[in-house]
Structure 1
Amino acid sequence: MTVQLTLEELRFDENGLIPAIVQDAVSKTVLTLAYMNKESLKMSFETKETWFWSRSRQELWHKGETSGNTQRIVSISCDCDGDALVVQVVPNGPACHTGAYSCFAGEMLGTSEERQSTTESDRFAILGELEQLIAAREAERPEGSYTTYLFEKGVDKILKKVGEEAAEVIIAAKNRSAEELRYEASDLIFHLLVLLREQKLPLDEVLTELQRRR
């Protein structure tokens, strides 16, 4: 666990609390907003799992203590004013009490035109969206989902599918079929993203490696 702060640097509010934004370290999805006090932060350091202060119950709570949906901490950092935290975690299941992967799983605000404009500004935005969707499927395991099926079967099944799709890409290329190649390449990319999620390797790290090689 990388810690980029000291307790003395932080500015707790009049109730002794500081907001903590919890983010999936792999997909970069914001999972929830919770509050910590000095004791819960100390427990988070010691156990390397998230502990918070419940404002409704007025007590410490260990995320996942009853549900099993714990969050392993990768890093904790504070903002420039020292009055807010970002906690990057590897979640073991959904973050939300509703069973959703993220507490921010609702509709994006703004008009459909604004949302479309934002998406079109990045030609690779679909990769980020797909990475987040796969992360949600792993956490929530909705019944009937093909991605759920892959995660439940485990790494051997995922590896088999990556191998099969890679072979089909080769066959499509040998057939000189652009349509077939487009379809099979999409399958390969999808299954590769599932494998990266199963291995807890962020797509960002792959992109960084490509940048380094360039």
Structure 2
Amino acid sequence: MKIDFNKNDDGLVPAIIQDASTKNVLMLGYMNEEAYTKTIETNKVTFFSRSKNRLWTKGEESGNFLNLVAIKNDCDQDTLLITVNPVGPTCHKGSDTCWGEDNEQSFGFLSNLEAVIQNRKENQDDSKSYVASLFRKGINKVAQKVGEEAVEVVIEAKDDNEELFLSESADLLFHYLILLQAKGYKLKDVVNVLKSRS
């Protein structure tokens, strides 16, 4: 990989650190050629510390290493994207990221939908929503709805109406997310089981 360490007078390139599993950005550091080489050799991310004016392996004092997974170079060959498996919090202030955020898996829209479902569950007595009404009826009703939607997906899978198949699939996924929360779980718990099997 060709990296343009000479683009700036200081010989440094920005290194964006991203969690390999969650895809969250954890921090930004800087590397010179020596730091890059040490990172490759040790599989532990090493930066050039501008404040200490020396090489600095993240975790050398705290034990919170950034274990290297992969390095990509951008189109101008002057910025690195480094994916890692972090050991412990990344920020020196003790947070998961240098932006004070938790390094949790996000599933985009599905995570937002889970948050809405959780809100309906927590406020079911005050809500007239369909989701709240399912929670009020109990686990048997929620499980029954998942079963009904699963059967409808199977039926539509055997026909040629793709729009109905996708609509029933969306209904199944929606009700499954409700069932997960009725049982005290979220999508990330199922993903963790799948990861353990891979």
Question: Could you state the TM-score of these two structures normalised by the residue count of structure 2?
Answer: 0.59
In the alignment, the residues of structure 2 paired with residue 73 and residue 127 of structure 1 have an alpha-carbon distance, to the nearest angstrom, of 33
Instruction: Give 2:190's aligned residue.
Output: 192
Amino acid of the structure 2 residue aligned with 1:53: F
Structure 1 residue ranges without an equivalent (≥5): 107-121, 130-168, 202-214
CA–CA distance in structure 2, aligned partners of residues 57 and 128 of structure 1: 44
Partner of 2:19: 24
Confirm whether residue 124 of structure 1 aligns to residue 124 of structure 2: no
Conserved 8 A contact 2:114-2:177: no
Deviation at 1:185, TM superposition (A): 1.8
Supply the distance in 2 between the matched residues of 1:82 and 1:170 (Cα, whole angstroms): 57
Q: Point out which structure has higher relative CO (alpha carbons under 8 A, 6+ apart).
A: 1
Amino acid at match of 2:51: S
Rate the CA distance shift 1:80–1:64 in 2: closer, same or farther, 3 A.
same
Q: Which stretches of structure 1, 4 residues or longer, exceed 6 Å deviation after superposition?
A: 175-178
Q: State the alpha-carbon separation in 2 of the partners of residues 184 and 34 from structure 1.
A: 42
Unmatched 5+ stretches in structure 2: 102-107, 116-138, 149-174
Residue 10 of structure 1 corresponds to 4
CA shift at 1:188, angstroms? 5.0
The residue identity in structure 1 corresponding to 2:143 is: A
**Match in the other structure for 2:63:** 68
Q: Shift of the alpha carbon at 1:195?
A: 4.6
1:104-157, Cα deviation, whole Å (9 max, x unpaired): 236xxxxxxxxxxxxxxx63253899xxxxxxxxxxxxxxxxxxxxxxxxxxxx
Give the deviation of 1:16 after TM superposition. 1.1
Structure 2 CA distance for aligned equivalents of residues 101 and 41 of structure 1: 23
Aligned to 1:173: 143
Change (3 A) 1:171 1:78: same
Q: Tell me the C-alpha RMSD between the 2 structures.
A: 3.5
CA change 1:127–1:182 in 2 (3 A) is closer
| Distance in 1 (alpha carbons) for counterparts of 2:40 and 2:72 | 12
Q: Distance in 1 between matches of 2:71 and 2:19?
A: 12
- Between the two proteins, what is the percent identity of the paired residues? 35
